[in-house]
Amino acid sequence: MKRAFSVMEVMVSAAVFIVSVLVLFGIFPISARSVRQAEQRTMASHLADNRLALCRSSAFSDIQNQAPQVSTVIFRHQDEVVTEEFQVEQVVTNLTPKLKNIEVIVRWDSERRHQELRLETQIASLLP
C-alpha cells in the first residue's frame, strides 16, 4: 500500500529545513568576526613580542620608557588586503639598579571596542 505525505508533514519538514538554513547563515558572520579578532590579536602579539626582543638585544642602559607609537600592519583577511593600526607603548620600571621590568602594551580598536594586549618581561644587567 502506497502512503503519501500529508500536507501537515510537508509543512513541518519545510519549517524545520528553513529554520536550519537560517541558523547556519547566522553562524557565518559570527565565525568571520571571530577569525578577524584572532588575526588582530595575533598581530598585536607579534608586535609586542618583537618589541620585547628588541629590548633583550639592547644595552641595559638603553632600555627606557617609550611613548605610544602607531604601527600600521597590512595583512590578508579572506582574500582581502586589510590595514590595521596598533598603538605600541613600552613601560620600563627599575626594580633594582641591575633589574628592569619591561611591559609592552598594544592597543587597537576592533568593531568600535578598545582592545589591549600586554606582554611583560624582566631584564637583568650582567655587568658588575
Question: What ranges do the domains of the chain cover?
Answer: 7-124
Query: Of 29-38, 45-54, 90-99, where does mean pLDDT reach its minimum?
Result: 29-38
55: its cell numbers: 629590548
Looking at residue 1, its pLDDT comes to: 53
Looking at residue 17, its pLDDT comes to: 83
pLDDT at 12 over 60: yes
Looking at residue 53, its pLDDT comes to: 96
Rounded CA separation 113/2 (Å): 61
Count how many Cα atoms sit within 13 Å of the Cα of residue 127 in the half-sphere of its side chain.
Answer: 4
pLDDT band at 89, cuts 50/70/90?
very high
Looking at residue 64, its pLDDT comes to: 95
CA distances from residue 60 to 66, 99, 103, 126 in whole angstroms, order as listed: 15, 9, 15, 9
Looking at residue 2, its pLDDT comes to: 59
- Nearest Cα to Cα of residue 117 among 127, 128, 103, 107: 107
pLDDT band at 4, cuts 50/70/90?
low
- Nearest Cα to Cα of residue 101 among 93, 109, 110, 89: 93
State the burial class of residue 47 (Cβ atoms within 10 Å of its Cβ: 0-12, 13-18, 19+).
buried
Looking at residue 121, its pLDDT comes to: 96
